[in-house]
Amino acid sequence: MAQIFGEIVEPESRAFWDDDELDASQFQYQLRWSGDNVMPSSIKTFLIVEGSVVSDFTRMCSLGRGENEICIIEHGRFKASNIYKINNDLYTCLVSPDLDAKHSTEFIATLTDFLLNAEKIITLTCQHVSSYKSDVAPILPSFLQSLSTKSGKSPLNDVERVKQPNIVHGIAAGVMSYAEIFELSAVLYVLYVEEFLLDSETAMPLVKLFAAIPGSLLHDPVFKQSSFSSRVIDLYYNHLRTFK
Amino acid sequence: MIKLTEDIDLTGYTLIIPSVAVGNVGQLAVDLFISSLSAKRIGYVWDSAFIPIVGPDPYDENSSALCTAVDLFCSTDKRVLLIQIRSPLSKKPFLFFKKLQNFITEKHVAKVIILTSSYSHEKRDQQIRTIPLRYIASPEIKSEFGAMFDSLNWTHLESKIDEYGRSEVLAIPGGGFAKNLYDIFVENHIPCAVLLRFCSEGDNIPDAMELANYLNQWLELFSKDASGNLLIRKPSSWRFLFGNDPPLEMF
């Protein structure tokens, strides 16, 4: 909307992404190995976790029991991404929340050797349920859906497939695209959540998933009470009904 | 990288590619062609210029195939190759242009048609008074199809004076990479045309229909029913183009 009389306001377009900042230069990430670690010659399962909610869950419930940080992927002045060796069967990459989506392909190029050496790739990401398009409004406060490449097989049987026209973007989507193009075995899981704060109920789909990932070590998670939870509201309405 | 999953002889095929442009009209029009021709996915493009996305097959709810940011489709009946782009560009796609140019040359693709759109608020007086569809064509296309374009009463995109007032230029404001790609193909003697529709952001399905119909006047890709109506099928994934229905609780 014009702020002053006669001001020309160019209409925006949803088609463009930072149109004025399209950067022609090629961007490169640096892989820095910790200590004597080198690229593993074979990996049974390579888990890539993207998004604060699922990364925090992974860090809290699957890391911290003697795993080995084998390398970091530096993002300049931003927080780095980390790759951990959980055990001989499982390597986990926690993608930095500061990663710029426009450099997704370059980030995946840095992971190429890991992807090609992995027997099975699992990517995990998180989206708000408001982005979920469906005839039927979701009842659960959190739920998982999955997509697989031609050769990918989900370790969980009761997870629904992502339905059109829902799409997934970011590193998880890029890894899946790469795996589909290069005929690798990969499965993507997307956790749809009502709020970006997990509790014992909303984390349940992740608990089931981590229990099914071969080699995954799941600790007992401790959940902090959300200050504003939909279930708090439900409880409030239940009280109201009781009093009527 | 352009990877084909099937070995198909593409000699003499017509390549249709959208430019990510205002209202996504070119992309929607390509969706209409893929859906209506039941075109088959035959490959993928992996390029850092496009933000990666992945999802289920947008054209078949029962398919287990994946769609990526840039997919290749083919209709062998109509000898048409279609590239669909589903994500915005994050970088200038110079490497993609080079890969595409090499691919077209190696596969002996006959001609390229770029579908795009342009800001309707940039229309000049002479453009306001006429239908909002325009074309640009390379010399090779003009010599082969110029008479046909005249018989269809197509209007060539009007040039305008450049910002310094020195020379006349062809420009497509809001048209994405269409003009850049066209210039590269013309320079390399690849027969190429750009078809565009003036539009604004909003429900751009009617714009896409018109643009697809415009191209169909030339290539006659859509089938017709007994009454002569074009059989245009919208993809099933267009159902929620503007989000979910409003929740019943709000009424």
Q: What is the ipTM of this complex?
A: 0.88
pLDDT of residue B28: 96
Q: Which domain holds residue A181?
A: 28-243
| Residue of B55, B69, B176 with shortest CB distance to A164 | B55
- Higher-pLDDT residue of B175 and A28 is B175
pLDDT of residue A189: 95
Range in A178-187, B6-15, B235-244 the model is least confident about: B235-244
Q: Report, as an integer, the average pLDDT of A122-136.
A: 90
- Higher-pLDDT residue of A4 and A55 is A55
Query: Average pLDDT of chain A?
Result: 81
User: Tokens for A191?
Assistant: 């956790």
Range in A181-195, A207-221, B90-104, B225-239 the model is least confident about: A207-221
Contacts of B61 in chain A (CB under 8 A): 163-164
Residue A38 has pLDDT above 70, yes or no: yes
Q: Report, as an integer, the average pLDDT of A234-239.
A: 42
Written as one string, the DSSP assignment of A135-195 is SS---SSEEEEEEE-TT---S-SSPEEPPTT--EESHHHHHHHHHHHTT--EEEEEEEESS
- Higher-pLDDT residue of B80 and A10 is B80
Q: Report, as an integer, the average pLDDT of B199-211.
A: 93
% of chain B beyond a pLDDT of 90:
70
Residue A61 has pLDDT above 50, yes or no: yes
Query: Which fold, B8-39+92-237?
Result: Rossmann fold (3.40.50)
% of chain A beyond a pLDDT of 90:
30
pLDDT in tens, B127-179: 888 899 999 999 999 999 999 999 999 999 998 887 777 788 888 999 999 99
| Residue of B46, B64, B201 with shortest CB distance to A14 | B201
Cα A151-A157-A159 angle, rounded to 5 deg: 95
pLDDT in tens, B14-66: 999 999 999 999 999 999 999 999 999 999 999 988 999 999 999 998 898 99
CB contact under 8 A, A11 and B200: yes
pLDDT in tens, A88-109: 888 999 998 888 888 888 899 9
CATH number at residue A36: 3.40.50.10900
Residue A226 has pLDDT above 90, yes or no: no
Contacts of B24 in chain A (CB under 8 A): 14-15
Residue B228 has pLDDT above 90, yes or no: no
Range in A184-188, B129-133, B237-241 the model is least confident about: B237-241
Q: Which of A195-209, B178-192, B232-246 has the highest mean pLDDT?
A: B178-192
Tell me the shortest Cα–Cα distance from A51 to chain B, in angstroms: 15
What count of residues does chain A have? Answer: 244
| Residue of A106, A168, A170 with shortest CB distance to B55 | A168
Q: Which helix (H) or strand (E) holds B206?
A: helix B205-219
Q: Which of A66-75, A80-89, B28-37 has the highest mean pLDDT?
A: B28-37
CB contact under 8 A, A22 and B91: yes
Query: Average pLDDT of chain B?
Result: 91
- Higher-pLDDT residue of A178 and A14 is A178
Tell me the shortest Cα–Cα distance from A140 to chain B, in angstroms: 16
Written as one string, the DSSP assignment of B138-185 is -HHHHHHHHHHHHHTT--BPPPEE-TTSSSEE---TT-TTHHHHHHHH
What sign results for the dihedral spanned by CA atoms A108, A112, A114, A116? Answer: positive
pLDDT of residue B196: 96
SS (H, E, C) B33-54: HHHHCCCEEEEEECCCCECCEE
Counted domains in chain A? 1
Other beta carbons within 10 Å of B26: 33
- Residue A236 backbone phi and psi in degrees, to 5: -60, -45
Tell me the shortest Cα–Cα distance from B53 to chain A, in angstroms: 4
Residue A243 has pLDDT above 60, yes or no: no
Residue A219 has pLDDT above 80, yes or no: no
pLDDT of residue A242: 43
pLDDT of residue B135: 96
Q: With beta carbons less than 8 A apart as the criterion, state whether B4 and B45 touch.
A: no
Residue A23 belongs to some domain of the structure: no
Q: Strands (DSSP E) along B5-121, which ranges?
A: 14-18, 40-45, 53-56, 66-68, 70-75, 80-85, 111-119
Q: Which of A51-55, B60-64, B94-98, B109-113 has the highest mean pLDDT?
A: B109-113
Helices A104-117 and A171-181, axial angle in degrees (round to 10): 50
In this prediction, residue A222 has a pLDDT band, given cuts at 50, 70 and 90, of low
How far, in Å, CA of B163 to CA of B180, rounded? 18
Q: Report, as an integer, the average pLDDT of A233-240.
A: 42
Q: Which amino acid is residue B155, in one-letter code?
A: T
How far, in Å, CA of B28 to CA of B8, rounded? 25
Residue B215 has pLDDT above 80, yes or no: yes
Contacts of B53 in chain A (CB under 8 A): 167-169, 173, 177
CB contact under 8 A, B24 and A14: yes
- Higher-pLDDT residue of A55 and A222 is A55
Question: Measuring CA to CA, which residue among B202, B143, B161, B164 is closest to residue B24?
Answer: B202
Other beta carbons within 10 Å of A88: 11
Q: Which amino acid is residue A2, in one-letter code?
A: A
